[in-house]
Amino acid sequence: MTFTPVDLPTYPPDIQQQVIADYQARKPDWVPSDANPEVVLIEELSFALAQVNAGLAQREVAELELIGRRRGRPRREAVSASGLARFTVAAGFVVEAATQIIVAGHAMQTLEAAGGEVGQTLIDDVPVEAVLPGPEANGAFGVGTVYDQFDDLVSVEVTTALAGGQDEEDIDTYLAELVDYLQIFFDDPTLVNARQLAIYVRSHPTVERVLVLDLHVPAGGLLPDGTTSATARDNVAGAIAAYPVDAAGEPPAAFIRTEIAALVQARREANMILGVGVPTHSTINVTFTLSTVDATATAAVLTAAQDAVRGYLQPAQWGSPSSGDQTLTPGLWVLDRTVRFGELYAVINNVPGVKHVDTITISPAPRAYTVAAATDLLTLADHGYLAGDPVVLTAPTGGAPLVAGTTYYVRDVTASSFKLAATSGGAAIDITTDGSGSIARVATANTNVTLPGAAPLTRPGSITASLAA
């Protein structure tokens, strides 16, 4: 729901014109002129009233923010991205708090002093954060430099990529969500539908977006009989599940999910089953060929195209509603199970300097499986395969007669298992030994890829670009 502020005029000439019109309506024979004392008085009062109205408008927003804080939905503040770094130092050197480093073009600083032990030259897991708040430094990692280089501070590397950075919440977005949030709990404090659950989970300060699925129980969620579901299940009467993610598109930490689940359970209606799940991230590799407008700028165009694909596949962006859709609740994550080569074509083709795109091959990264000789079944949770899908194994151990590099075809599909055949529609292969390995769908140029999991998100993997022959 959109927040509609009280309509108070704050432009003095508009106020003056309205007052004069009202005065004339009361005294039809009165004609305004600069010599009229009434006009001078109206002009002065208009300036004063404009200032009062502007103050009231600001006060309205301030009071709503205060109500939001008191009711458990404060406006999100800007937060700096944080991660962990490793310092190589001279034996016994102390890395002081607020030591500034630069990694991947982002200024960062240590949050606490570390090191100083006798003989210690490697200091691991030093907490660092971006100097500037916001999401720009999310994902930054790798070897960096120290802003003020010390002889005893040899090198620095961010080993755990920065995450969690976010901008201050836009005031219009916040007020729109606050209206929805307050409406829920003024009308009925219990959670009875998917929209209410989405708004309530989104109110947690760590949650940037949330996907809510009706009639759905997430893996590990409670079923109507009180037992726990080992896998995600659909068409469960009275069940609603929320899948929250932070500003980087990652699930909140386990203890935060537990906290959110407890808050949700406290407000659920007695006959409802509300759960909080973890999304399934799929690493997507993309290989494509293109032609450029200017042959002298080929390298820059290829790099820009690769960056554009990486941006498209970032989990923070996947499932974002289109900018033209104004009917959706802010912070909503739209369920999208398909990586479409047509959309990737548009992403690449819109890069300045690209003349045309020739081929695009989308391939999910291999995922680990186990195989049992007793059943001939390969087990892989949320695999997303359909009967007849071509797949290939990587580095299998055991599982004879399956071998790496050979194309097999999926059959006998369940949510978390399947068998393999040597030909499409052929008989299931008899597995003679237990085993494990990695498996992926065979990549085919210019075809879509279906994502596994009840709540799928993407991550960019290997993105390779080259010039068309």
Reported as a single tens digit per residue, the pLDDT across 60-81 is 788 888 888 877 788 888 999 9
Q: Residue 187: its pLDDT value, please?
A: 62
Q: Residue 324: its pLDDT value, please?
A: 44
Alpha carbon distance 4, 175 (integer Å): 9
Lowest mean pLDDT among 165-174, 298-307, 359-368: 165-174
Per-residue confidence at 176, pLDDT binned at 50, 70, 90? Answer: confident
Q: Residue 2: its pLDDT value, please?
A: 63
Q: Residue 323: its pLDDT value, please?
A: 45
For residues 94-103, give the mean pLDDT.
93
- State the average pLDDT for the chain: 88
Find the length of the chain.
Answer: 469
| 3-class secondary structure, 311 | helix
CB 286 within 8 A of CB 447: no
Q: What is the dihedral of CA 282, 245, 316, 367, to 10 degrees?
A: -10
CB 243 within 8 A of CB 277: yes
pLDDT at 445 over 70: yes
| 3-class secondary structure, 112 | coil
Q: Residue 327: its pLDDT value, please?
A: 46
Q: Residue 185: its pLDDT value, please?
A: 65
Dihedral of alpha carbons 76, 80, 81, 85, sign: negative
Per-residue confidence at 222, pLDDT binned at 50, 70, 90? Answer: confident
For residues 166-184, give the mean pLDDT.
82
Residue with the bigger pLDDT between 279 and 31: it is 279
Residue with the bigger pLDDT between 227 and 437: it is 437
Query: At which residue do the structure tokens 């409670």 appear?
Result: 222
Q: What is the dihedral of CA 247, 250, 253, 256, to 10 degrees?
A: 50
Residue 187: partners with Cβ closer than 8 Å, 6 or more residues away: none
Q: Residue 429: its pLDDT value, please?
A: 98
Q: Residue 1: its pLDDT value, please?
A: 55
In tens, the pLDDT along 388-423 reads 999 999 999 999 999 999 999 999 999 889 999 999
- Which of 251, 241, 258 shows the shortest CA–CA distance to 316? 251
Residue with the bigger pLDDT between 166 and 326: it is 166
257: left (phi over 0), alpha (psi -120 to 50) or beta: alpha
Q: What percent of the chain has pLDDT over 90?
A: 49
Rounded (10°) angle between helices 171-187 and 194-202: 130
pLDDT at 226 over 90: no
Q: Residue 200: its pLDDT value, please?
A: 86
Residue 95: partners with Cβ closer than 8 Å, 6 or more residues away: 87, 89, 110, 113, 114, 115, 123, 126, 153
Write out the E strands in 164-214.
209-214
In tens, the pLDDT along 324-373 reads 444 445 577 889 999 999 999 999 999 999 999 999 999 999 999 999 99
Alpha carbon distance 19, 43 (integer Å): 9
Q: What is the dihedral of CA 202, 208, 214, 218, to 10 degrees?
A: -110
Residue type, 302: L
- Which of 168, 211, 459, 162 shows the shortest CA–CA distance to 316? 459
* C-alpha neighbours within 13 Å on the C-beta side of residue 249: 23
For residues 275-304, give the mean pLDDT.
93
pLDDT at 6 over 90: no
**Phi, psi angle pair for 448, to nearest 5°:** -75, 160
Q: What is the dihedral of CA 408, 412, 417, 419, to 10 degrees?
A: -30
pLDDT at 107 over 90: yes
Alpha carbon distance 290, 356 (integer Å): 6
Q: Residue 100: its pLDDT value, please?
A: 94
CB 384 within 8 A of CB 453: yes
Alpha carbon distance 276, 273 (integer Å): 10
Rounded (10°) angle between helices 341-349 and 298-313: 140
Dihedral of alpha carbons 405, 408, 412, 413, sign: positive
- Which of 98, 104, 105, 92 shows the shortest CA–CA distance to 127? 98
For residues 3-8, give the mean pLDDT.
74
Q: Residue 325: its pLDDT value, please?
A: 46
Q: Residue 384: its pLDDT value, please?
A: 84
For residues 306-333, give the mean pLDDT.
75
Alpha carbon distance 145, 143 (integer Å): 7
Q: Residue 329: its pLDDT value, please?
A: 55
258: left (phi over 0), alpha (psi -120 to 50) or beta: alpha
Q: Residue 87: its pLDDT value, please?
A: 94
Query: At which residue do the structure tokens 């074509």 appear?
Result: 345
- Which of 289, 243, 316 shows the shortest CA–CA distance to 463? 289
Q: What percentage of the chain's residues is helix, strand, coil (to nearest 5)?
A: 25, 35, 40
For residues 288-308, give the mean pLDDT.
92
